[in-house]
Structure 1
């Protein structure tokens, strides 16, 4: 059965008069609204040929941070590979911004400077960014959050269960580290909910399943910078001579491994970190790291794009969105 203007209007979030103007080529409708109406019509299998004047490129913007890091490089590369397989009427624009400039990120979200059909982003949680997202959500522009969440927003989230990942880190450290002593965690800072969730899960597990001889001391903030994270670990080793466990909820694994490899007590520290890379795989085999929890950025990119294409009415299959499964690596399966 041919979809009605009302059905298309409800799907696009506009009025029936707007749908009539777009599908009959009458003009006077903003380009971004035209794109939403056409996407809704395609998604409902509207049988009539759509106006040629409105056949344009659907632009999906991807906003990321820290292109120099292995994780975000993997994520960006995954989106590039996916984009190459899409219809030529769909363009994916990758934008990297400074994570320390939330005002600039908020401006880009609210004022992209191009006709944008949808937005996928992995950025810090900040009130300015929250406000910008609410603005475009009110405009009915599809938004997908990937890797980490922005609080107080309605956008879909694609990523692992980070609280569960933190609990897994606590579980494995408790079971596999037979030494007693102090435990520390290190992460970027408090600006990413992903890190807050991981550290909370780690802390909760150790508190709920206390061994008595392992004491969680402190969360250290290295901002995923190698030199800063390395210095913090060296200070921790001096402050706590019985340091037995380290959980890195963020990046800079290589610098932490280097400190442990060169410190006389470094091999006594059970080290759990995130993200499997060539260097972290070597660290597992060498014993500098003990466990790696990998969050499969390739799977996150694929899911995020599938959800976006569904929101734009370009695919008919319903996309389920349970948490992405993280993979646990040790020296035995790397």
Structure 2
């Protein structure tokens, strides 16, 4: 049986050889899979079925072959707006994919690396890929290395959970930090000290702070980076850190939050007599940050477009398993700069 397929812009007819070439297997393997003859390893079955579907091979596959391509997505902090947006993006994109592909989303406890590592290492069914939006730790890195050694495609999204050459999808966080510093240095309403807040268990937060710090190091002047507070990216600790900074620096002119927990910071500034005098830059467009921009409490929001990150991460996995021939863009996701004037 043959079907029309497009190769290099030309329409042709796909056959067992085309499928075998796309899947990286022999034609005999293709024949056994498509005719349900058995005796083929599950991972090869997945590749053949994916290749056949990508070539629009006109054959109804046996029910046993459906749902074979399971992509697991592991995230943390479902209570946050950002991770809810990310999860929802995976859900929406999954609904547009071939029924062969099942995207399974799961949340783990952020401050429990044992729990995260267990979810990474254990799979109740075979995986076609694993997408991770989790923090970094030795236990997590070890679990990732074991999955990679098994030949499962792994993609880090938003932040890196390991430094093992695995694909990473996210913004240029160093550039985001420098961008925040640039805005503060140019837009601050007076001369004086600047502070920043972050959650250091995330590599992306460290990268942002490094960019932020080095910008001011490279451009010494009357506006300078003086203090860094650690917040766990939680509202209570963020509010406490900002209150300490306001007391320590009564002439504070700039605030950069490298994390996403902005609601409590906004409330602290709303209540403070100098709240609108301090140039405040943070990440992620939410109901809170949108309102704060309109009120003049926040000045700039850098949004890292979780929807684009989810799409790119899935594109990479689908390319790795042969379900698409299109090579995904490997450049950093563009972050979006939002002000009150662009809402």
Q: TM-score, normalised by structure 1?
A: 0.89
Counterpart secondary structure, 1:332 = helix
CA shift in 2, pair 1:128/1:33, >3 Å: farther
Q: 1:165-180 residue pairs with structure 2 within 5 A?
A: 165-180=176-191
Alignment match, 1:239:
248
| Residue 90 of structure 1, CA deviation | 1.3
Hey, what's the Cα distance between the residues in 2 that align with 1:148 and 1:116? Answer: 21
Unaligned ranges ≥5, structure 1? none
8 Å CA contact 2:196, 2:256 repeated in 1: yes
8 Å CA contact 1:250, 1:274 repeated in 2: yes
Unaligned ranges ≥5, structure 2? 1-14
8 Å CA contact 2:22, 2:322 repeated in 1: no
| Residue 292 of structure 1, CA deviation | 0.5
RMSD: 2.5
Alignment match, 2:3:
none
Is 1:136 the equivalent of 2:147? yes
Alignment match, 1:103:
114
Hey, what's the Cα distance between the residues in 2 that align with 1:31 and 1:54? Answer: 11
Q: 2:80 aligns with which of 69, 75, 92?
A: 69
| Residue 71 of structure 1, CA deviation | 0.3
8 Å CA contact 1:23, 1:50 repeated in 2: no
8 Å CA contact 2:70, 2:127 repeated in 1: yes
Counterpart secondary structure, 2:178 = helix
Is 1:206 the equivalent of 2:216? yes
Alignment match, 2:156:
145
Alignment match, 1:256:
265
Alignment match, 1:267:
276
Is 1:293 the equivalent of 2:302? yes
8 Å CA contact 1:166, 1:198 repeated in 2: yes
8 Å CA contact 2:19, 2:48 repeated in 1: no
Alignment match, 1:229:
238
Q: TM-score, normalised by structure 2?
A: 0.87
- Count of aligned residue pairs for this structure pair: 328
| Residue 152 of structure 1, CA deviation | 2.3
| Residue 262 of structure 1, CA deviation | 0.6
1:150-200 residue CA offsets vs partner (Å, 9 max, x unmatched): 332222111111110000000000000031111111012x21111011111
Hey, what's the Cα distance between the residues in 2 that align with 1:306 and 1:17? Answer: 29
| Residue 47 of structure 1, CA deviation | 6.6
Counterpart secondary structure, 2:228 = strand
Hey, what's the Cα distance between the residues in 2 that align with 1:38 and 1:279? Answer: 46
Hey, what's the Cα distance between the residues in 1 that align with 2:114 and 2:29? Answer: 34
